[in-house]
Amino acid sequence: MFKQFINKLARKSWKSESADYGGSNSGNNAVTSGSRNAVSGRSNAVKRMSSAVFPASVVSGIEPLISFKDVPNQEKQNLFVSKLNLCSVVFDFDDPNKNSVEKDLKRQTLIELVDFVSSGSAKFTEPAIAAMCKMSAVNLFRMFQPNYQSTGGEAEVEEPMFDLAWPHLQLVYDLLLRFMTSTSLDAKIGKKYIDHSFILRLLDLFDSDDPRERDCLKTILHRIYGKFMVHRPFIRKAVSNIFYRFVFETERHNGIAELLDVFGSVISGFAVPLKEEHKMFLWTVLIPLHKPKSLGVYLQQLTYCVTQFLEKEPKLASTVIKGLLKYWPITNSQKEVMFLGSLEEILEGMNMVEFQKIMVPLFRRIGCCLSSSHFQRASRLRRSSAVAASAALMANSVPVAEQAHLLWNNDHIVNLIAHNRQVILPLIFPSLERNTRSHWNQAVLNLTLNVKKVFSEVDEELVLTCQDKFEEEETKLKAAAEKRRVTWERLEIAASVQPVTRNAAILVTPTTTYVTG
């Protein structure tokens, strides 16, 4: 039944290909006889297999299983199209024993196509480009089954799902990549078939659960972006829409790290001064990507993209830090550690003018982090990639307060703080002083003493002034607390001696309740 279906499909395909490309039977008669002589050494079994499963009528008179070296150069493009149509048959890999011989034949044909494209023997004709895009679409573009266990947040590690059809998919991706990078591909013709629809469906594949597939897609998308300049604005817009949907709607997508990896290279190629469109990408896409819970999965790529912008236009640093403060996590200590790490990278390349624009709100937030009591063994991130593992390791091993103190290990940041100590130290001194008195973590306590020592060496008089002001504030707070306590005592006494009247409030003395079980 399967063979009959393929035979019918092949006859229909040949009719449509003839109409599209204007192929004529008379022009291929000589090739027919030559092809038959070339394959005379093949076994009858293989001939029957190829005619039944992979019909030769895809390109009139050319046997798809003929080797490229067995046909003249002028017919290699026709044979290329024939083999591509042969590989457009998609097999079911759920049953490994089903069509095993046919699957192996397709695999061998794909390998032969990869070698032919790599050789770069001749310019690809328009029918060849069309057949290549059609074969890639048939094999690659597909719907993924929903993964209901994936929430896109911080959950236990889930093993990546590997596609059973990868033996064929890998070769198709390899073939497509070599085709895109080949000098034999004319971009002016190729853009007719590698169009907006093709690119959108290619981007949809980035949500694959298979990390091997996402890695191949990353390379191919980068090559398409480089080869087809006319598609660059559309690709940037389409990828931005994926990021918008991820940040503001679903918070679930498997390919954010890979897409950011591609855009890291794209951003490095932006001309200076930056266009307003590119700055908008930073403000409306990259900075909001700090919001989702699964930040650790793509933090490294995101930080690289942001720093690329800052290297090209350093005055954007204050805007980036304002964005980080906007999305700063309040109850998630793991993300706080990650934000502090990203903050250190940004501050390391920041100049004095931009630093002074944001130092007040920035060190108010750092002051809160310095006295943080969080030390939480973070739940493992969803993907077990190298990026997620490094982010999880950082979040698991360093308390928020310790990570904040480590900013003083950076000489450039210490220099920025020292030049603005009159503003910064009063903001963070209360946190430092409370740490020395009552912080439970010995490592944090030691780091706090070191930071206070640094300030004392730079400006001991300022430290003493802040100490006196802190003591004065503490005295005021204690006095206010004592006043509050006395006021409540007087209210309780007054309520206990005053007789209860109708509609009057009654002060009930709390009693201890014992629960037995």
pLDDT above 90 covers a percentage of the chain that reads 61
Q: What are the pLDDT tens digits along the chain (517 aa)?
A: 344 434 444 444 433 433 343 333 333 333 333 333 433 443 343 343 343 344 433 444 456 778 888 888 888 889 999 999 989 988 888 887 888 888 889 999 999 999 999 987 778 999 999 999 999 999 999 988 766 544 444 444 456 678 888 889 999 999 999 999 999 999 999 999 999 999 999 999 999 999 999 999 999 999 999 999 999 999 999 999 999 999 999 999 999 999 999 999 999 999 999 999 999 999 999 999 999 999 999 999 999 999 999 999 999 999 999 999 999 998 888 899 999 999 999 999 899 999 999 999 999 999 999 998 876 544 443 444 444 444 444 444 578 999 999 999 999 999 999 999 999 999 999 999 999 988 888 888 999 999 999 999 999 999 999 999 999 999 999 999 999 999 999 998 888 886 666 666 665 566 555 554 4
Q: Rounded to an integer, what distance in angstroms lies between the CA atom of residue 474 and that of residue 480?
A: 10
Give alpha helix (H) positions in 371-504. Answer: 386-397, 400-405, 411-419, 421-438, 442-458, 460-497
**CATH level 2 (architecture), domain 317-375+398-494:** Alpha Horseshoe (1.25)
Percent helix, percent strand, percent coil in the chain, to nearest 5: 70, 0, 30
209 three-class SS = coil
| pLDDT tens for each residue of 351-408 | 999 999 999 999 999 999 999 887 654 444 344 444 444 444 444 457 899 999 999 9
Residue 383 in tokens: 């993907």
Residue 447 in tokens: 């780091």
What is the b/e burial string over 207-240, where b = at least 16 CB atoms within 10 angstroms of the residue's CB? bbbbbebbebbbbbbbebbebbeebeeebbebbb
Which DSSP helix (H) or strand (E) runs through 239? helix 232-245
Question: Tokens 């497509």 sit at which residue?
Answer: 176
In the chain, where the domains are located:
317-375+398-494
Cβ–Cβ under 8 Å, residues 399 and 172? no
- Position 158 scores a pLDDT of 58
Cβ–Cβ under 8 Å, residues 153 and 382? yes
* Dihedral sign (CA 28, 31, 35, 36): positive
Query: Alpha-carbon dihedral of residues 274, 275, 276, 278, nearest 10 degrees?
Result: -80
For helices 411-419 and 352-370, angle between their N-to-C axes, nearest 10 degrees? 100
Beta strand segments in 219-277, E: none
383 three-class SS = strand
> Is cis: bond before 273, omega within 30 of 0?
yes
* Dihedral sign (CA 35, 41, 47, 48): positive
For helices 76-86 and 100-119, angle between their N-to-C axes, nearest 10 degrees? 140
CA atoms within 13 A on the CB side of 476: 6
- Position 376 scores a pLDDT of 52
- Position 182 scores a pLDDT of 92
Q: Is 136 exposed, middle or buried (0-12, 13-18, 19+ CB in 10 A)?
A: buried
| pLDDT tens for each residue of 425-439 | 999 999 999 999 888
Question: Tokens 């085709």 sit at which residue?
Answer: 179
158 three-class SS = strand
pTM of the shown model: 0.77
Name the amino acid, one letter, at 506.
I
Cβ–Cβ under 8 Å, residues 292 and 152? yes
Q: Rounded to an integer, what distance in angstroms lies between the CA atom of residue 249 and that of residue 146?
A: 16
